[in-house]
Copies of this chain bind each other. A is one copy, B any other.
Amino acid sequence: MASGSDDAQVISNKQVILKDYVVGLPKDSDMYVSTNSTIQLKVPEGSNGIVVKNLYLSCDPYNLVFMRKPVSDSYAFVKRVSDSHAFVKPGSPIIGFGVAKVLDSGNPNFKKGDLVWGTTVWEEYSLITDLQDIIKIQHTDVPLSYYTGILGMPGLTAYGGFYEVCSPKKGEHVFISAASGAVGQIVGQFAKLFGCYVVGSAGSKEKVELLKNKFRFDEAFNYKEEPDLDAALKRYFPKGIDIYFENVGGKMLDAVLLNMREHGRIAVCGMISQYNLDKPEGVHNLMHLISKRIRIEGFLVFDYYHLYPKFVELVLSYIAEGKIVYVEDIAEGLESGPAALVGLFTGRNVGKQIVLVAHE
């Protein structure tokens, strides 16, 4: 595919390369930054793709799906994502959500200068040919980085998970694990604004303070300081939990099952405590599902993309009215990307972890 134009600029393109498939949790040594690649800043003749300059890259547990050797279950994720990017192989740059600026377009829906968010590549510039999850940014009166978070995939995850999967009722008691993370902090604020009692767990004093003082959760606790999670939950939920927004799995889920109320709902968004285990921990208290008629439901954000316009409208109005806040942890430069991503899985970040690649 030759360039459509003789003056097409070819420049160096820094990338974060997957060195080998990740086993367990990602390590710094699983990735390296390369300056060996170049890119032409024009879409190839006949392509209806776009060439973008990547501005922000998003660090999500989700990234890991594309860094591990594919297994059957990966397909459910991958088939929703750009075919061209599916199943990153060692030696190729890693992929994930990001915010980017269109430099050239072969597609009638996008033009030079447009800002977009969606699945992109961990590199300075990308040619994106599969545009199924690329969304044009319409509102730029908020920080652009928000489109990796509160106005992007994590925000829509929180929206679909809370309003659709949890079927909340005003006054219900809501528990959120990994509550200061990209999704948890939004779910908690949605739940508070909806009129629920909200408690979150997190893994440091600093995060607990954030939950209570910044996000205005009713209560929050550091799970690492609780030798007995069941006792901790009974302290904050003497009458039980109506809604559990599950981000961690394992022992926390077992403790929650002991404390659910009748007809309670558990929305399973993630199980980050299990991702590094060869065999996930056993969950022993599922019998409580019967006597309490509990519903547990797993979900993926892709099933809620049709709600994106409604979601953006709500969140922008909340932001404008100062009713919702968002905390980001921004690592500067593509070089800092691997460490930022690795830190996500050990809880090193405070708030939504982002990599700033370039200013607009």
A270 and B291 CA atoms in complex are apart in Å by: 10
Contact between B289 and A296, CB atoms less than 8 A apart: yes
A303 within 8 A of B: yes
Q: From the candidates B73, B284, B295, B303, name the one contacting A279 in the complex (CB within 8 A).
A: B284
Contact between B73 and A291, CB atoms less than 8 A apart: yes
Q: From the candidates B271, B279, B281, B295, name the one contacting A290 in the complex (CB within 8 A).
A: B271
Could you say which residues of chain B place their CB within 8 Å of the CB of A280? 284-287
Contact between A268 and B282, CB atoms less than 8 A apart: no
A298 and B289 CA atoms in complex are apart in Å by: 5
A262 within 8 A of B: yes
Contact between A284 and B286, CB atoms less than 8 A apart: no
Instruction: Give the Cβ gap from A238 to chain B, nearest Cβ, in Å.
Output: 13
Contact between B290 and A298, CB atoms less than 8 A apart: yes
A77 within 8 A of B: yes
A76 and B284 CA atoms in complex are apart in Å by: 19
Instruction: Give the Cβ gap from A65 to chain B, nearest Cβ, in Å.
Output: 9
Q: A283-B283, A284-B280 are in contact. Are A299 and B303 (CB under 8 A)?
A: no
Contact code string A250-274 (vs B, CB < 8 Å = 1, else 0): 0001000000001000001111001
Q: From the candidates B76, B287, B288, name the one contacting A291 in the complex (CB within 8 A).
A: B76
Q: From the candidates B286, B294, B295, name the one contacting A283 in the complex (CB within 8 A).
A: B286
A184 and B274 CA atoms in complex are apart in Å by: 34
Contact between A293 and B289, CB atoms less than 8 A apart: no
A112 within 8 A of B: no
Could you say which residues of chain B place their CB within 8 Å of the CB of A295? 295-298
Instruction: Give the Cβ gap from A281 to chain B, nearest Cβ, in Å.
Output: 7
Q: A296-B296, A300-B293 are in contact. Are A286 and B76 (CB under 8 A)?
A: no
A203 within 8 A of B: no
Contact between A289 and B285, CB atoms less than 8 A apart: no
- Most B CB contacts (10 A, CB to CB) among A77, A293, A298 go to A298
Q: From the candidates B77, B287, B303, name the one contacting A271 in the complex (CB within 8 A).
A: B287
8 Å CB interface, A271-329 against B: 271, 274, 279-300, 303
A181 within 8 A of B: no
Residues on A facing B (Cβ under 8 Å): 73-74, 76-77, 249, 253, 262, 268-271, 274, 279-300, 303
* Pairs A–B under 8 Å by Cβ, sample size 30: A73-B291, A76-B262, A76-B291, A249-B286, A268-B286, A268-B289, A268-B290, A270-B290, A271-B290, A280-B285, A280-B287, A281-B284, A282-B282, A282-B283, A282-B284, A283-B283, A286-B296, A289-B296, A290-B299, A290-B300, A291-B300, A292-B298, A293-B298, A293-B300, A293-B303, A294-B297, A294-B298, A295-B295, A295-B298, A296-B296
For the complex with contacts A293-B297, A294-B297, A296-B296, 12 further pairs of A-B residues with Cβ separation under 8 Å are A268-B290, A269-B290, A280-B285, A282-B282, A282-B284, A283-B284, A283-B286, A288-B298, A291-B298, A291-B300, A293-B298, A295-B297
